[in-house]
Amino acid sequence: MRALAWQSARAPWALCHAYASAAAGATATGSSPAPQRVALVQGSSRGLGLEFVRQLLLRPDTAAVIAGCRAPAAAAGLHALQAQHPGRLQLVQLDSTDESSIAAAAEQVAAFHAHLDLLINASGILHDDGMSPETALARVSMANLLKCFQVNAAGHILVCQAFAPLLAAAARENGASEERPAVIANMSARVGSIGDNRLGGWYSYRASKAAVNQLTKCMALEFERRKQRVASILLHPGTVDTDLSKPFQKNVPPEKLFSRGRAVSQLLAIIDRTTMADNGKYQDWAGQEIEW
Ligand SMILES: NC(=O)c1ccc[n+]([C@@H]2O[C@H](COP(=O)([O-])OP(=O)(O)OC[C@H]3O[C@@H](n4cnc5c(N)ncnc54)[C@H](OP(=O)(O)O)[C@@H]3O)[C@@H](O)[C@H]2O)c1
């Protein structure tokens, strides 16, 4: 077991010895430990990311969940989950648009974990103060384009880069195989499909999702070439009731507006059945492949 030498000035980790035992898969009888999975959710303060954390913590095979978010001290939802699951949820500061923050987060996680079995990039932006999706070419701006690309595309792939060694280590350290590889799930959106684009609009968001699709596909092919047991997939969650979709929900029929709980359990079912044969796939919440 690794020493508890993880405390860092910038790390609002909350960890305890109970977690350390669970992470090592130790049993009271000393019998050989069952594989214990470690999952990291990036963009976990709200919305789908927070729900992923909540549902992963309910899984007996998952010893530790790491929640990366920009402002851990303010992440009330994560603090509530920490109280409910003592010693199993770690918070780490991670701004996916800041390379030094990503590097520090990866260092902190690697100081305590020998492998990572699941990475979910759940951060995303569609609108913000002074920023809304463009309904016409005339509204496209450098600021919106860069912001969407930074959060929705660059952030995801740089987080993947930083945590790739830990994901690749899952084969060696935790039995990841062709049938049950480590998984990277990047949150995309159907509107990132160029072939499926029949309405136009939302220039920056659509283009940033097309970009994360291409970046993830490149990564998937590289892992395959290197014979690493890490499957990278792109997921469209459906329209889900979160802050991101809130301003655009009025024309969505109620049966097509998923709760966060439903959306995440559908996506975790896809993640659970992912094998290396699914590496590089772009799928919707039902597991149907989406055209690029
Ligand atoms: N909701 C939908 O209907 C829908 C549909 C299709 C695809 N998606 C995709 O699903 C993902 C999750 O969306 P959501 O609906 O859960 O959105 P949300 O409720 O608006 O949450 C967005 C999350 O991203 C985080 N974030 C934003 N910028 C960040 C940065 N620079 N570094 C780290 N985290 C950052 C936010 O953190 P802060 O709290 O710090 O701002 C928040 O936790 C996104 O990629 C989105 O594009 C959602």
pLDDT digits 0-9 by tens, 137-155? 999 999 999 999 999 999 9
Q: Is the CB of 46 under 6 A from ligand 1?
A: yes
Give the residue, by CA position, lying nearest to ligand 1 atom 7: 189
- Residues in contact with 174: Cβ distance below 8 Å, sequence separation at least 6, in sequence order: 35, 36, 37, 38, 115, 117
Q: How far apart are CA 132 and CA 138, in angstroms?
A: 13
List the one residue out of 266, 279, 92, 100 whose CA is nearest residue 178: 279
Domain boundaries of the chain, sorted by first residue: 17-284
pLDDT digits (tens, 9 = 90+) for 224-267: 999 999 999 999 999 999 999 999 999 999 999 999 999 999 99
Kindly indicate the confidence band of residue 33, based on its pLDDT and cuts at 50, 70 and 90.
low
C-alpha neighbours within 13 Å on the C-beta side of residue 145 = 7
Q: What is the DSSP secondary structure assignment for residue 190, as one 8-state letter?
A: G
Residues 64 and 113: beta-carbon distance below 8 Å: yes
Q: Is the CB of 45 under 6 A from ligand 1?
A: yes
Q: Is the CB of 290 under 6 A from ligand 1?
A: no
Q: How far is CA 110 from CA 2, 105, 134, 139, 165, in A?
A: 10, 9, 40, 43, 9
Topology annotation, domain 17-284: Rossmann fold (3.40.50)
pLDDT digits (tens, 9 = 90+) for 120-141: 999 999 999 989 999 999 999 9
Q: How far apart are CA 104 and CA 271, in angstroms?
A: 27
* Cα 159 to middle of ligand 1, angstroms: 15
Kindly indicate the confidence band of residue 7, based on its pLDDT and cuts at 50, 70 and 90.
very low
- Residues in contact with 267: Cβ distance below 8 Å, sequence separation at least 6, in sequence order: 48, 52, 185, 235, 237, 285
